[in-house]
Amino acid sequence: MLKKPIYQSSMQLLVEPNYQSKKDAGTGAENQFADSTVEIDYSTQLTQMRGSQLLQKAVALLQADYPDLKAAELQKALVLTQVEEDKVKTKIFQVVYTSDDPEKTQKVLKAVQRVYQDYNREQQKLRLTRGLAFVDEQLPRVEQQVDRAENDMEQFRKSQNLVDPELQSRALIDALSNVQKERQSNQAQMREVQGRYQTLQRELALSPQQALIAARLSQSSRYQSLLNEVQKSELAIVQQRLRFKPASPFVQQAIDQRQRQRDLLAAEVRRILGSNAAQVNVKGDSGLSVGQLSATDLTLASALVESQVNLAALQGRAQSLAEAERSLQQQLQRFPSLLAEYGRLQPKVQIGRDTLQQLLKARQDIALEIARGGFDWQVVEEPKLGRQIGPNLKQNILLGAVAGLMLGSVAAFIRDTMDDSVHTPDDLKQATVPLLGMVPTLQLEEGLASLVPFREAGSLPPVMQVVHWQPFRESLDLIYKNIQLLPSAAGLRSLVVTSALAGEGKSTIALGLAISAARLHQRVLLIDADLRRPSLHQQLDLPNQYGLSTLLTRQTPLRQSSDIQLSHSYTDIPLSILTSGPIPADPAQLLSADR
């Protein structure tokens, strides 16, 4: 009986999962703030789409055309898988339906497609609605957190008179670094000016104040003119004293004139020096030399005064820089605690503002997404009329043949495993009985003439040619030696050679063993006891009128001359042979006779 045809139709959908796992979720607001209770992956999406709840809706759509269709039947015949490309799963789902009606396969898939797209829109709306409710729930709480954080920051800035402690602390650190650099540079300049000042002071042998007074007096032309008049008066006094007596009116007149000139000089000194005029005694001879500096000394005096001024300026700058450094260090000492407090308040404000901004943007995006109505799953491949996929006669025959071969191979293997018969020498080696030896195999029709090189091939029967073949002869000698070495061979008088099947070489083996025993000077009688298919007499060309069968049937004793044949005609070894005799009617009964 032929099977009904089987038809199959398929379709493919590009599925953007409404339920995404956290590791695959997008960065959009509608994904970030979606309800976490519906965040699952593609595997769960597949399970949902295979569920009986959705398939029952498809069955309801098909009731008019297929009233007997059940959800369980549809679920069993519908296969939903995720398409893979180079072992990478894609976003494309393939839906396959199998039935005995090609039109039914197409209609069922169209109904399933409609159900899946309706399900997608419902899930999108549910997801976005829950996301919007979640955002609306979070907004008041986040706004309160932002207000508290900003109030705390405002109070901190007012109480500490700061705007941004981090920027201000960096500004103070930079200022302190600059001050320290300036102090180092100022100290270097002070050392340089101090050295120059000390050198100038040693060369002039004057203090800076004295050098300043001498320079000012030396640069006054009136003072220098009066000083010259005083010096001239001094010279006139000396001349008058040389000419006149000290009490002479001429000497006294010259002294009076000098005094008047010194008074004028003192007045000029007071005009030039002001309050410092007391340091110059122009009435004495030592005071007259103060304002008499040469051009070189005047330059050195100016440099000395300049060095003193520069040194004083540098010392004043050093003091101000030291005070500025102490002030900056004191200000910086309070910043570690301020920075810690600011570092605690600032992240709260920033995180709160960012979260609030994200929530507001998410609310706007979700509202727009709800208003837009979401997006449909794209149909990559539309359902088509079902194509026949079975039955395939050729394929079934081929499968049957392959199955038969496999079953036959298994049966042969089982039979071979359970078979304990001996087929090869390897099988015999695995037996528990001792292996006496191995006899080489020879096809008699293949080169019998080469077995006995020193005799003509036609002078001996084929069996004797085999027996005299050296490899066969040596193997039989070895077997006979192994028999003699057996523990059970002590007192052994007879030896039986038999086989399970005919033609396996019993006669040849028995003849070879008999010759091996006779070569060892044993008296040997070879008996052909095969009463059904005797062959020894044929192989050795011996008469068979008398033999074992006649010996067992008659009552007379064994006659050596008539019953037993000798093998002298074929070998020099003495060997007696008792053929089987005529074939009896019942060989089994004859062999079981008492005689």
DSSP codes joined into one string, 111-160: HHHHHHHHHHHHHHHHHHHHHHHHHHHHHHHHHHHHHHHHHHHHHHHHHH
What is the H or E stretch that residue 380 is in?
strand 378-381
State the Cα–Cα distance between residues 13 and 32, nearest whole angstrom.
Answer: 25
- Identify whether the C-beta of residue 146 lies closer than 8 Å to the C-beta of residue 358: no
**Residue range(s) of every CATH 3.30.1890.10 domain in the chain:** 6-151+368-385
pLDDT tens readout for residues 208-256: 665 656 666 665 656 666 666 666 766 776 777 777 777 777 777 777 7
Q: Which two tokens stand for residue 539?
A: 């192989």
State the Cα–Cα distance between residues 455 and 449, nearest whole angstrom.
Answer: 9
Question: CATH top-level class for 439-591?
Answer: alpha beta
**Residue range(s) of every CATH 3.40.50.300 domain in the chain:** 439-591
Q: What's the pTM? A: 0.37
Which amino acid, residue 40?
A: I
Which amino acid, residue 34?
A: A
**pLDDT of the residue at 96:** 92
What DSSP character marks residue 521?
Answer: T
pLDDT tens readout for residues 555-592: 666 655 455 665 545 566 778 888 888 888 888 877 77
State the Cα–Cα distance between residues 216 and 254, nearest whole angstrom.
Answer: 29
State the Cα–Cα distance between residues 54 and 58, nearest whole angstrom.
Answer: 7
State the Cα–Cα distance between residues 515 and 475, nearest whole angstrom.
Answer: 12
**pLDDT of the residue at 27:** 47
pLDDT tens readout for residues 158-177: 877 777 777 787 888 888 88
Q: Which two tokens stand for residue 250?
A: 């001429």
The contacts of residue 427 (CB under 8 Å, 6+ apart) are 421
- Identify whether the C-beta of residue 575 lies closer than 8 Å to the C-beta of residue 518: yes
Q: Tokens 């028999």 identify what position?
A: 483
Q: Which two tokens stand for residue 451?
A: 């077995």
Per the DSSP assignment, residues forming a β-bridge with 387 are 8
- CA nearest neighbour of 339 among 137, 169, 158: 169
CA 207-209-211 angle, 5° bins? 70
Q: Which two tokens stand for residue 142?
A: 């986040």
What value does the CA radius of gyration of the chain take, rounded to a whole number of Å? Answer: 70
Q: Which two tokens stand for residue 35?
A: 């309800």
Which amino acid, residue 239?
A: Q
Q: Which two tokens stand for residue 94?
A: 């393939």
Q: Tokens 């025959």 identify what position?
A: 397
Name residues of the chain where pLDDT drops below 70: 1-3, 17-40, 204-231, 233-234, 237, 261-298, 301, 370-375, 392-393, 419-432, 442-460, 463, 555-572, 594-595
Which amino acid, residue 285?
A: D
Cα torsion through 19, 25, 26, 28, rounded to 10: 70
Q: Concatenated DSSP letters for 27-69?
A: SSHHHHTS-GGG---HHHHHHHHHSHHHHHHHHHHTTTT-TT-
State the Cα–Cα distance between residues 507 and 529, nearest whole angstrom.
Answer: 10
**pLDDT of the residue at 215:** 60
- Identify whether the C-beta of residue 30 lies closer than 8 Å to the C-beta of residue 362: yes
pLDDT tens readout for residues 413-468: 787 777 666 666 666 666 667 777 777 776 555 544 454 444 444 566 776 777 77
Which amino acid, residue 50?
A: R
Task: Please state the CATH superfamily assignment of the domain spanning residues 6-151+368-385 in this structure.
Answer: FepE-like (3.30.1890.10)
- CA nearest neighbour of 272 among 220, 211, 212: 220
Q: Quick one: residue 330, left, alpha or beta (phi over 0 = left, psi -120 to 50 = alpha)? A: alpha
Distance linking the first and last C-alpha atoms of the chain: 71
**pLDDT of the residue at 286:** 46
- CA nearest neighbour of 166 among 348, 392, 384, 338: 338
Which amino acid, residue 560?
A: Q
- For the four alpha carbons of 474, 480, 483 and 484, in that order, the dihedral sign comes to negative
